[in-house]
Structure 1
C-alpha cells in the first residue's frame, strides 16, 4: 500500500470514528472517561515520539476530542438569547473559539504529513540555466549591501551564467530630481556611491525613473533589462552562502512547470523578543515553526509560497503572469498565489542558505508585522483564495490558512477580556458546571497542548506562540480594521535594519502593555477577593481566576519584551572555522578564525602565542585562502581590539579597517563560504521541550521579566545615566551568533 493510500484510509477511518464519538449523547462522567481514554492513547504516541502513520492516528485522536468539545460547546453552553446582555458577549466568545478550532483543523490539514524533499539532481555546468540575481534596495547602508552583493557574486556557479543586479530604489530619477535639494543631493550621492560599489564587485547597478509599486515595481522594472532564465531574489540584508545555487537550481530540471524554489529565511541577529528576553542562543526562533514545519506541509500540497527573498523564480512564469504582482503590500505571497492559479508548481528546500537581519527594536518589529498583517488581509479581501480560479482544493485551504492566521489579534484580545466580564460584572457568558468544564474544556485544552507539542515541539516551545500573538495583538487589531475599512489604502514601508540601541530603555510602544498588565492585576485581585468572600460562586471564580492568571503571566512576560536591552553591535557574528595568518608589526601568527562579522573577527592562535605587543589600536593584516577559484591568498587590514583568555585558551579580537570592495568580498567569503555553520546553529536550538517543563520555564521567565519591566518603568523621568563610550565594533561575542520570517 502506498503512503498516500495509507494516508487516505487513515483519514477515512478517522472521520468515521470522529462522527461516531462526537454525536454520542453521553453524560459528564462518561465524557470524562472517554476523554481520558483518548488522551491516554494520544500520550502513548506523544511520549514515545512515534512518527509515520502514528502521526496521523495521533491527529485523528486529537480531533475526536476537539469535535466532542465543539458539539457540547455548541449545544449546551450558550446563554439564552432572551438575555442579550449575556448572550451577545457569550456568542462573540463562542464564535472566536470556533474560529480557533477552524484554524486548528486547517493547520492540521497542512502539517499532518509534511514533505521531506530530497536534494535536487546534480546538473553539469554546461546544462545549467542562466541566473540573474536581484537585490532590491531602498535605503540600506553601503556596508549591508556590499556584504550581500559580494556573497551573491561569490556563489558557486559558472561566471558566464551568473549576473548580480543591485536594484536601487533609493537613487531613482524621481529622487535625484526632487524639489527638496537636500533629498536630491542625498539620492545622487547614493547613486554614485552604489554605482562605484557595483563596478568594484563586478555587479550591475540598475535604477528606474519613478518609485512606483514599491518592491514589486522595482523588480518589474528590472525584468526587461535582464535576460536570465532563473531569477534569484535576495533582500538587501540577506547574504547567500556559496552553495546556494547548487542546492536549488537542479530542481528546475525535474519539472518544466516549476516556477519557485523557496529556502528558509535565517537570521544572524535576534528579533526584539529574543533579544530582550535573552532566549536567542537556546530557544528555537519564532520563524522556525513556519520554515521548519509549515512550509514543508504546504510543499506537500504544492502550495509553498514565495517569501520575498532567498528564492529562485523561473522568468518564463513571471513573464506569463505579467511580472510580480503588486496589488497588496505582500507582493511575494500574492505573486505565488497567481502563479499557482495558472498551473505552475513550487518547491521548498528546508536548508538555511542565506543569513539575514531581523528588526532590532520592538517598534520596527511591530511595523514589519503590521505590514505583513495588512498585506495578507488585502489578499484575503481582494484575491480570496477560496474563489480564485485555477487553484486545487488543497491549495485553497493552504492559502486560506496563511491569510486567516493574521486574524489572531481578534481571538487573542477576546480571550483576554472574556474572563474579566465575569470577574467584574458576573456576566454568565459561558454556562457550565465545574464538572462539565473539567470533562469537556480541560480535556480539550489538554489535547490541544499535546497536539501542538507533538507537531511542533522541536521548533516551538510551549506558550511561545501565545506570547508572540499577544505582543502583536495590541497593535495589529488596528491594522486589520484599517484594511477592512479600505483594502487598497495600505502602502509598502521598508523595515529598518542594522539599528542599535545604545542604552537600556522602554520601547516607545510600551505603555499599552503596562496598562493591560495593570488591568489584569486588578482583575486577578478582584477574583481572589471574590473567591474568599463568595463561596456560592467559588467553582466558576476559580476557573476564571486561573484563566486570567494565565493571561497575566503572558502580559508580565511582555513587559520584558518592551523593555529594550542595550545592543550596540551593528554587525552580527557568525561562527566559522577557517585557518589564516595575522601579521602585526614584525610578527606573524598562525590563527583559526572562530567567528566573523562584516566588522571584525575573533581569532585563536594555533600555538597559543598571542601578539607580543597587546596594545589595542595596533594595525596589521589578516590573510586567508579564498574558498573558490584558485584558492588564492587574500588579505584584509585589521586593527587589534582585544586580547585575552577564555575556556579554550588565548584569543584576540580584531576589527576590519576601511575595506575596499575587493576586501569586503574577502570578508564575505569568510562568512558565507559554507552553509554548515547556519545549519549547525539551527540544529543546536531545535531540541524538544515538553509541556510541563515548557510551562515551568514560561512561568519563571514571566516572574523575572515582569520585575525587569517594572524596574524599567520606574526609571522613566529620571535623568539618563551618563553614556559610556561605545564599544569597538569588532569586539567579539562570546560564542557564535546565528540568525525568522
Structure 2
C-alpha cells in the first residue's frame, strides 16, 4: 500500500509531462514552461535516493528534452529545396536525436539501481566447487605469477578450488608454426609457464589450436575441468582474498543465476589520467560504468559479463554451448545468449580485483576499437532489440549498451557542423538567439544538471565529452569497417604493463593537431566576421560560441595525446601496514606504505637504521596475518624525503613462488584498501569549478603538446631498473622476464 501511495506522485508527474509535450506555445510561454520544469527538476534532485523524486526529475527533464526535439523537428531544419543546407542539417539533426534516444535509455537503465550484499553461507560443506580460469596470450610471466598467487590466496576450501592457467601463447599450433623464431618463442613461453605453474601448485593447459580467441580458450578450459562454478580473471586482474566470499553465496540462493559480475579496479592511470595528471584525484573513466550503470542494469536483470572478475555457473554455460565466439566481445555476447534463455545475473558493486589498463594512447585506442566493433557486431548480428527470450527491459538495456558505441558519429558531427556555417555560410541550424535560449539553452542546462545528478560523484564536468572526443577521431574507421563487414573484426589482445622512457607525442597525434588548428582558425574567422559584418546574424553568434566550446575540448584533447614518460612497470598499491624488518639479530618496526610486484616502500616510525642506498644492504621483512608470519627478503634500492621523513624503497633480490605469495598477502589481503582509494576520489565538484579546471587543461595542455610538436621542449630519456628474476626451481633456474637467454628448468632445456 505504501509503495502504491509513493508511486502516485511520479505517475501524476508523468501524465502532466506527456500533456505538455505537444502543446503549441508562444516563445514567452515556452520560457515559463522551461523555467518551471527546471525548478521541479532541481526540487526532485534534493532527495537523490528517493525513487519517487528520482522519477519526477526524469519526467521533467524529459519534458524539456521532448519540447526541444519538437521545436528542433518543426522549426529549425533547412528547406529540402536547398540540399546544400538540408543534407548536413539533417545529419546534425540525426546526431541530436541519437543523443536524445540515449538520454531516454539512460533514464530507463537508472530508474532504480540495485545495491547487493552477499548472503551468508550457512554451511561450508554446501559450498560449490570452483574452477578459476586465468586466460593468457602474451603476458609476461611476472604478471601471471602475481595473479596466480592472488588467486591461490582467495578464502575458500582448498579441496573445492582448482586454478587453471589457460595459455594461448604456447599452443601446439604456435609451437609448430613455420616461422622458426616465432615457434621458438612459443616453445620458450610454454616451458616457462609450465614450470612456473608447477612451482606455484596450479594447473597449466595449452590447447592445440587458437580457434575463436579468448572464447575458444575458455571453452577448452570448460572441456578439461568439471567444477560447479567458473571464475574468470584476466591475466592482469589479481583478486583480493574475499573475492569468493563476496560472490559465491549468491549462487546458493538462486538456482537460475548464471553470473555474478564485479567491478574492474585499476592500479594504474589510463592515458588521459596520466597525461593530464588526474589519477588519484579524479574518478576514473570506468567508475561511471561500474559504479552507476551496472547497478542500474541489474534492476532489469541485464547486468552483463565483462570478461573478467566474474563467477559463472557451468550448467548455464553448457546450456548455450559455452562462451560465445561469434563476435570479438565474447563476454557481452555470452551474457546476452544466457539472458535470452531465462538465466539471471547479479552485479556486486564492490572492488574485488586490481588490474591494469593501457598505459599508452595507442594501446588505449586499440582496446576501445575492439570494444566498439564487438558491441556493434552484437547489435548487427545478434539484434538484441529483437532477440527471443529477452524481456522488454533487457531488450532496451542491451540495445542501449550496443548503440552507445555509435557516439563517435554524433561527437564528430557536433565538432564539424559549426565549421560549415563559419567557412561556407551553410545554414544547417535555423534559429535566432531568443529561440535558441528558450529551447536549446534550457535543454542543455537540464542535460548538464542530470549528468551531475546521476554521475556527479564518478564523472566531473566535461570529462565525458573529452573521453568521447579523443576516441571519436580514431573509432570512425572501426565503425565503418564493422558496418561494411560485421564478421571481419578479429580479437586483439590489449597491451598492458608498457613503459615510456621519455615524454613525447603519440604516434597517432597528428589528426588531433589538425582538428585543433582548424577549430582555432574557425574561431578567429568567426570573431572577425562578428566584428566586421554590418549586421551579424544571431546564428553566427550561436555558431561562434559553439565552435569555441569545441576548440576548448580539442585543446584538452592535445594534452591526452602528448604522452608523459612512464617508467614504472610494477604499479604500486598504498597499503599502510605494520611489519618488522630483520637483519641478523637486529629488528626494526616498520610501516609498509605501498607495495608492488617489484618492491615495497617503508617508513621507520621509531629508530631508523643507517642504510646507504648505494650499498647492497639487505634484510627480511615480516608481516603477520592470523598469527602466521609471512616473510620475504629485500634489498635497498632508494631513500627519499617525504614530509620531513625518510621513505626507504626496497626491492626483492629474487622472486620465488613464496615471494609472490607474500606479495599477494601484503597487497590483496584487505578489500578495504581498494574501496578506500575509490571513495577518496569520488568527490562531486560543481559545474563552475569543473569548467574552470577544464579551461586550464585546455590552455596549458595545448601549449605543452605544441611544444612537443615543434621541439621546444627537451625530451630527456630515463632508464628504469630491471626487476629481479623469477626463480621457479630449487636449483635456482630463473625466468628473467623480458631479457632473452637460455635456462634449464626441471632438467629440460628451456628458452627464456
**Alignment RMSD, CA only?**
1.7
5 Å-filtered alignment, 1:10-89, equals 12-46=11-45, 51-89=50-88
Pairing partner for 2:620 from 619, 622, 631: 622
The corresponding residue for 1:735 is none
Which segment is superposed worse, 611-620 or 683-692? Answer: 611-620
The Cα of 1:694 is off from its aligned counterpart by: 1.3
The corresponding residue for 1:490 is 489
Pairing partner for 1:689 from 685, 695, 719: 685
Unaligned runs of 5+ in 2: 725-752
For the structure 1 residues 336 and 8, does the alpha-carbon distance in structure 2 shift closer, same or farther, using more than 3 Å as the test? Answer: farther
- The C-alpha deviation readout for 1:563-584, integer Å capped at 9, x for no partner, is 0001100001101132222234
The corresponding residue for 2:172 is 173
The corresponding residue for 2:560 is 561
Pairing partner for 2:697 from 698, 701, 708: 701
Give the distance between the partners of 1:326 and 1:706, measured in 2 at CA: 42
Give the distance between the partners of 1:645 and 1:95, measured in 2 at CA: 57
The Cα of 1:586 is off from its aligned counterpart by: 5.7
SS of corresponding position for 2:346: strand
Give the distance between the partners of 1:508 and 1:350, measured in 2 at CA: 37
The Cα of 1:180 is off from its aligned counterpart by: 1.4
Give the distance between the partners of 1:309 and 1:541, measured in 2 at CA: 50
* 8 Å Cα contact 2:501/2:718 also seen in 1: no
Runs of 4+ in 1 over 6 A off after TM superposition: none
- The C-alpha deviation readout for 1:227-280, integer Å capped at 9, x for no partner, is 110000000000000000001101001110000000000000000110000011
* 8 Å Cα contact 2:262/2:349 also seen in 1: yes
For the structure 1 residues 240 and 60, does the alpha-carbon distance in structure 2 shift closer, same or farther, using more than 3 Å as the test? Answer: same
TM superposition score normalised by structure 1: 0.95
The corresponding residue for 2:96 is 97
SS of corresponding position for 1:385: coil
Give the distance between the partners of 1:89 and 1:721, measured in 2 at CA: 43
The Cα of 1:216 is off from its aligned counterpart by: 0.1
SS of corresponding position for 2:570: coil
- 1:673 matches 2:669: yes
For the structure 1 residues 642 and 426, does the alpha-carbon distance in structure 2 shift closer, same or farther, using more than 3 Å as the test? Answer: same
- The C-alpha deviation readout for 1:138-158, integer Å capped at 9, x for no partner, is 000001000000000110000
The Cα of 1:653 is off from its aligned counterpart by: 1.1
* 8 Å Cα contact 1:216/1:325 also seen in 2: yes
Give the distance between the partners of 1:610 and 1:585, measured in 2 at CA: 16
The Cα of 1:136 is off from its aligned counterpart by: 0.2
Pairing partner for 1:660 from 649, 656, 669: 656
The corresponding residue for 1:407 is 406
Which segment is superposed worse, 360-369 or 533-542? Answer: 533-542
The Cα of 1:123 is off from its aligned counterpart by: 3.8
For the structure 1 residues 376 and 71, does the alpha-carbon distance in structure 2 shift closer, same or farther, using more than 3 Å as the test? Answer: same
Q: How many residues align?
A: 724
The corresponding residue for 2:454 is 455
For the structure 1 residues 283 and 721, does the alpha-carbon distance in structure 2 shift closer, same or farther, using more than 3 Å as the test? Answer: closer
For the structure 1 residues 148 and 706, does the alpha-carbon distance in structure 2 shift closer, same or farther, using more than 3 Å as the test? Answer: same
5 Å-filtered alignment, 1:411-560, equals 411-560=410-559
The Cα of 1:47 is off from its aligned counterpart by: 5.9
Give the distance between the partners of 2:271 and 2:5, measured in 1 at CA: 44
The Cα of 1:22 is off from its aligned counterpart by: 1.2
Give the distance between the partners of 1:714 and 1:622, measured in 2 at CA: 50
Pairing partner for 2:611 from 613, 620, 640: 613
5 Å-filtered alignment, 1:299-318, equals 299-318=298-317
For the structure 1 residues 2 and 311, does the alpha-carbon distance in structure 2 shift closer, same or farther, using more than 3 Å as the test? Answer: farther
Which segment is superposed worse, 698-707 or 242-251? Answer: 698-707
The Cα of 1:619 is off from its aligned counterpart by: 3.8
The Cα of 1:701 is off from its aligned counterpart by: 1.5
For the structure 1 residues 586 and 118, does the alpha-carbon distance in structure 2 shift closer, same or farther, using more than 3 Å as the test? Answer: closer
For the structure 1 residues 353 and 6, does the alpha-carbon distance in structure 2 shift closer, same or farther, using more than 3 Å as the test? Answer: farther
* 8 Å Cα contact 2:430/2:539 also seen in 1: no
Which segment is superposed worse, 393-402 or 189-198? Answer: 189-198
Which segment is superposed worse, 638-647 or 65-74? Answer: 638-647
The corresponding residue for 1:155 is 154
SS of corresponding position for 1:592: strand
Give the distance between the partners of 2:194 and 2:34, measured in 1 at CA: 67
* 8 Å Cα contact 1:46/1:450 also seen in 2: no
Give the distance between the partners of 1:312 and 1:31, measured in 2 at CA: 52
- 1:271 matches 2:270: yes
Give the distance between the partners of 2:11 and 2:239, measured in 1 at CA: 44
Unaligned runs of 5+ in 1: 731-741
The Cα of 1:648 is off from its aligned counterpart by: 6.7
The Cα of 1:137 is off from its aligned counterpart by: 0.2
- 1:288 matches 2:287: yes
Give the distance between the partners of 1:142 and 1:618, measured in 2 at CA: 26
- The C-alpha deviation readout for 1:357-378, integer Å capped at 9, x for no partner, is 0000000000000000000010
Give the distance between the partners of 1:456 and 1:675, measured in 2 at CA: 24
Give the distance between the partners of 2:718 and 2:290, measured in 1 at CA: 40
* 8 Å Cα contact 1:268/1:357 also seen in 2: yes
- The C-alpha deviation readout for 1:334-393, integer Å capped at 9, x for no partner, is 000000000000000000000000000000000000000000010000001011100000
Give the distance between the partners of 1:502 and 1:303, measured in 2 at CA: 43
- 1:640 matches 2:636: yes
The Cα of 1:427 is off from its aligned counterpart by: 1.1
Give the distance between the partners of 2:206 and 2:80, measured in 1 at CA: 62
Give the distance between the partners of 1:92 and 1:171, measured in 2 at CA: 49
* 8 Å Cα contact 1:623/1:633 also seen in 2: no
The Cα of 1:644 is off from its aligned counterpart by: 3.8
- The C-alpha deviation readout for 1:604-658, integer Å capped at 9, x for no partner, is 1131x22223233424233324536xx4323222110122432273331111111
The corresponding residue for 2:645 is 649
* 8 Å Cα contact 1:626/1:666 also seen in 2: no
Give the distance between the partners of 1:729 and 1:549, measured in 2 at CA: 48
The corresponding residue for 1:739 is none
For the structure 1 residues 13 and 648, does the alpha-carbon distance in structure 2 shift closer, same or farther, using more than 3 Å as the test? Answer: farther
* 8 Å Cα contact 2:568/2:720 also seen in 1: no
5 Å-filtered alignment, 1:221-260, equals 221-260=220-259
SS of corresponding position for 1:280: coil
5 Å-filtered alignment, 1:375-390, equals 375-390=374-389
Give the distance between the partners of 1:617 and 1:97, measured in 2 at CA: 64
The corresponding residue for 1:714 is 710
The Cα of 1:600 is off from its aligned counterpart by: 0.7
Give the distance between the partners of 2:322 and 2:47, measured in 1 at CA: 49
- The C-alpha deviation readout for 1:438-471, integer Å capped at 9, x for no partner, is 1000011111111111111011111111000000
The Cα of 1:18 is off from its aligned counterpart by: 2.0
TM superposition score normalised by structure 2: 0.94
Give the distance between the partners of 2:357 and 2:613, measured in 1 at CA: 35
Give the distance between the partners of 2:218 and 2:317, measured in 1 at CA: 11
The Cα of 1:10 is off from its aligned counterpart by: 5.2
* 8 Å Cα contact 1:610/1:652 also seen in 2: no
* 8 Å Cα contact 1:593/1:603 also seen in 2: yes
Give the distance between the partners of 2:2 and 2:328, measured in 1 at CA: 42
The Cα of 1:11 is off from its aligned counterpart by: 5.2
* 8 Å Cα contact 1:271/1:360 also seen in 2: yes
* 8 Å Cα contact 2:503/2:564 also seen in 1: yes
For the structure 1 residues 314 and 30, does the alpha-carbon distance in structure 2 shift closer, same or farther, using more than 3 Å as the test? Answer: same
SS of corresponding position for 2:548: helix
For the structure 1 residues 491 and 50, does the alpha-carbon distance in structure 2 shift closer, same or farther, using more than 3 Å as the test? Answer: closer
SS of corresponding position for 2:45: helix
Give the distance between the partners of 1:348 and 1:274, measured in 2 at CA: 26
Give the distance between the partners of 1:594 and 1:72, measured in 2 at CA: 58
